[in-house]
Amino acid sequence: MNREATIKRKTKETDILLRLNLDGGAPSRVDTGIPFMDHMLDLMSAHGFLEMELKATGDREIDDHHIMEDLGITLGMALKKSLGDMRGIRRYGEATIPMDDALLLGAPQAITQVVVFTDPHCPYCSKLHQEIKKALEIRPDIAWQIKLLPFKKGSREAVETILCEKSRKKSLDLLDAAFNGRQLPPANCQNTSIDLTLKIAQEMGVRSTPALIMPNGQILPGYKELEYLLRVIDENTPASTAETSTSPTPAPR
């Protein structure tokens, strides 16, 4: 599919014709009547690998700002139209998620790592947890880092109890017990990581549980069945990682 668009925009102050091809290779032809603006648009075309044909005229005898404003509007319209359904477009961002308190399901050396924000009192989190257990049997190349996120009423106390347990296996057993509706004993320590996890989740835009962070940083909210879940993970795993993960690291002897 050709990602291109033609926009003609005429107002009382300006007359602009823009042809934009996001995948074109020909040199761009830009004429706005404003030399510095021509220069900047040429740079944008070259470094963005865009093909642009632009002709803009306007009431420059009054000032350049009418052309500048309307160019911005026209470029935005052309980009939106040329991107269509925006398939394959990914948001760029950065986040650091401490894993000190994460409960690992899978092999530590697994190439593909998925972060799962879960709440021990969330029914859909419990359902997703069962799907993850099934995934462990057929996809040893994926490790699941379980981050406890207490959104539900009373969940914080359960999370504290789980995180205070020093044994990972016992922590996972307590999580299973909470998912099954059992009342957990009071915590026997003070845990300072819960507030940090809540803060990080808020900064990342995680508003509910369950929520998964894909290998490329994309957020996948909600419960998903196994087949769909694995497909989305594969689609959101960087190519270099996916190629390596086809041969999972053997378990240590």
**Domain's final residue, options 83, 112, 137:** 83
Q: Could you give the C-alpha distances from 6 to 82, 135, 198, 217, in angstroms and in order?
A: 9, 47, 46, 33
Residue 201 forms part of a structural domain: yes
Domain match, 123 and 236 both: yes
Domain match, 78 and 142 both: no
pLDDT value of position 1: 63
pLDDT value of position 136: 95
**Domain's final residue, options 26, 55, 83:** 83
Mean pLDDT of 169-192: 94
pLDDT value of position 98: 86
Residue 94 forms part of a structural domain: no
Domain match, 152 and 239 both: yes
Domain match, 77 and 107 both: no
Residue 253 has pLDDT above 50, yes or no: no
Q: What is the distance of C-alpha 225 from the center of its chain?
A: 19
Structural domain boundaries enclosing 179 = 103-245
Residue 253 forms part of a structural domain: no
**What CATH number corresponds to the domain at position 14?**
3.30.230.40
pLDDT value of position 49: 87
| Under 8 Å between Cβ of 232 and 139 | no
pTM for this prediction: 0.63
Residue 90 forms part of a structural domain: no
**How much of the chain, in percent, has pLDDT values that exceed 70?**
91
Looking at the 3D structure of the chain, how many domains does it have? 2
Mean pLDDT of all residues in the chain? 90
Domain match, 51 and 138 both: no
Residue-wise DSSP of 36-100: HHHHHHHHHHHHTT-EEEEEEEE-TTT-SHHHHHHHHHHHHHHHHHHHTT-TT-----------T
Domain match, 135 and 222 both: yes
Helix (H) or strand (E) holding 19: strand 14-21
2-17 per-position pLDDT tens digit: 789 999 999 999 999 9
Residue 250 forms part of a structural domain: no
189-232 per-position pLDDT tens digit: 988 899 999 999 999 989 999 999 999 888 999 999 999 999 99
pLDDT value of position 250: 39
Domain match, 114 and 233 both: yes
Domain match, 42 and 131 both: no
Domain match, 76 and 199 both: no
**How much of the chain, in percent, has pLDDT values that exceed 90?**
74
**Domain's final residue, options 83, 113, 141:** 83
pLDDT value of position 71: 95
Domain match, 27 and 142 both: no
Domain match, 152 and 198 both: yes
Residue type, 154: G
**What CATH number corresponds to the domain at position 132?**
3.40.30.10
Residue 97 forms part of a structural domain: no
Q: How confident is the model at residue 134 (pLDDT cuts 50, 70, 90)?
A: very high
Domain match, 117 and 203 both: yes
77-102 per-position pLDDT tens digit: 999 999 887 776 666 666 788 889 99
Largest Cα–Cα separation, the chain: 80
110-120 per-position pLDDT tens digit: 999 999 999 99
Q: Which residue has the tokens 């049997």?
A: 137
Residue 91 forms part of a structural domain: no
Residue 52 has pLDDT above 70, yes or no: yes
Residue type, 241: T
pLDDT value of position 74: 96
* Exposure letters 121-135 (e unless 16+ CB within 10 A, then b): bbeebbebbebbeeb
18-38 per-position pLDDT tens digit: 999 988 878 899 999 999 999
